[in-house]
């Protein structure tokens, strides 16, 4: 049996990712705020703990997949988390947080002799189940080599190394999610126009995804829009990530007119 990994955050994406690890033979020590969500993992042998720090072992690996920077900082500040992890432990942070938050956390881990690696995930929960996730990751070379098989076992069909400077992988994730939001809203607007002019939106999607846009994003969202589903439903993730992109851009005074505009459209849609 492979090593036992700490796993904190069993949400829509966390649960299938943790399940993949379990199915690949890893032992799991799991923590989730709503404890009942751990049940499918516990049934198959995972150990459930009652506070985040108890998921951590010295020199071991702990994964967090949390909603935002505040949730991540709260978990790390749980008494014993950093003390238990170091020395030589690795924290794989998979939620999307501000690059400046990530940099602060890198320093806190270093103080305890452990390593913070960021590895945000591209992929919906269904893609986790089918092991079709894409994962950009950043961190120290030694830590990355150690976690590569774990990221693959999580369902990562493709891993993309963005160097050692933590923050880079998060920026890639923010760019990708912004491009998804932009493509989704653009399709919704243009396909509505087509349909109201009597042109079948699915026929338009079929042509464009065979030619200019042969990309899963255009195929999937195009189909959803043609079938009158909202591309992002009532998910708050797009708004959260566009907000993070804006804040990340503001720190370097990079202008974001489109992000601002899409942020407003997303906010209105969630009201």
Chain residues that interact with a second copy, rule: CB under 8 A: 99, 122, 134, 136, 158, 160, 162, 165, 167-168, 171-172, 174-176, 178-180, 182-183, 185-187, 189-194, 196-199, 203-204, 207-208, 210-218, 245, 248-249, 251-259, 261, 265
Is residue 37 annotated as part of the catalytic site, yes or no? no
Q: Where are the alpha helices (DSSP H) in the chain?
A: 14-23, 39-43, 69-76, 81-85, 99-111, 125-129, 141-153, 168-196, 201-210, 216-226, 237-251, 257-270
Tokens of 28: 């799991």
The answer to whether the Cα torsion of 261, 263, 269, 271 is positive or negative is negative
CA 237 to CA 19: how far, in whole Å? Answer: 22
81 or 162, CB closer to a second copy? 162
For residue 79, the minimal CB distance to a second copy (Å) is: 33
42 or 159, CB closer to a second copy? 159
| Cα three-residue angle 7-157-1, rounded to 5 degrees | 45
* Residue of 220, 178, 215 lying closest to 202 (CA atoms): 220
For residue 91, the minimal CB distance to a second copy (Å) is: 22
Cα Dmax for the chain:
65
For residue 199, the minimal CB distance to a second copy (Å) is: 5
Beta bridge partners of residue 30, listed in sequence order: 7, 48
For residue 119, give the 3-state DSSP assignment: coil
CA 7 to CA 91: how far, in whole Å? Answer: 10
For residue 215, the minimal CB distance to a second copy (Å) is: 5
83 or 200, CB closer to a second copy? 200
199 or 229, CB closer to a second copy? 199
Which of the following is catalytic: 103, 132, 144, 173?
173
35 or 129, CB closer to a second copy? 129
Tokens of 162: 């963005």
For residue 146, the minimal CB distance to a second copy (Å) is: 22
Residues serving a catalytic function are 173
């Amino acid at each position: 049996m492979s090593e036992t990994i700490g796993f904190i955050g069993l949400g829509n994406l966390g649960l299938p990712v943790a399940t993949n690890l379990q199915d690949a033979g890893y032992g799991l020590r799991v923590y989730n705020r709503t404890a009942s969500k751990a049940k499918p993992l516990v049934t198959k042998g995972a150990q459930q703990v009652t506070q985040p720090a108890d998921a951590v072992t010295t020199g071991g690996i702990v994964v967090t997949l949390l909603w935002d920077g505040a949730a991540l900082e709260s978990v790390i500040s749980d008494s014993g988390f950093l003390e238990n992890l170091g020395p030589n432990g690795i924290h794989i942070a998979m939620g999307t947080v501000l690059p400046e938050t990530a940099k602060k956390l890198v320093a806190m881990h270093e103080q305890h002799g452990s390593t913070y690696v960021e590895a945000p995930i591209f992929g919906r929960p269904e893609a986790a189940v089918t092991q079709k996730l894409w994962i950009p990751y950043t961190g120290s070379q030694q830590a990355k080599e150690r976690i590569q098989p774990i990221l693959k076992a999580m369902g990562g069909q493709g891993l993309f190394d963005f160097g050692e400077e933590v923050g880079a992988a998060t920026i890639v994730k923010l760019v990708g999610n912004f491009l998804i939001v932009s493509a989704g809203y653009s399709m919704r607007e243009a396909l509505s126009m087509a349909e109201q002019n009597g042109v079948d939106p699915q026929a338009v999607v079929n042509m464009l995804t065979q030619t200019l846009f042969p990309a899963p994003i255009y195929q999937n969202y195009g189909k959803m829009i043609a079938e009158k589903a909202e591309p992002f439903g009532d998910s708050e993730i797009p708004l959260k990530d566009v907000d993070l992109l804006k804040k990340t851009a503001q720190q370097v005074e990079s202008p974001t007119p489109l992000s601002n505009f899409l942020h407003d459209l997303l906010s209105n849609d969630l009201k």
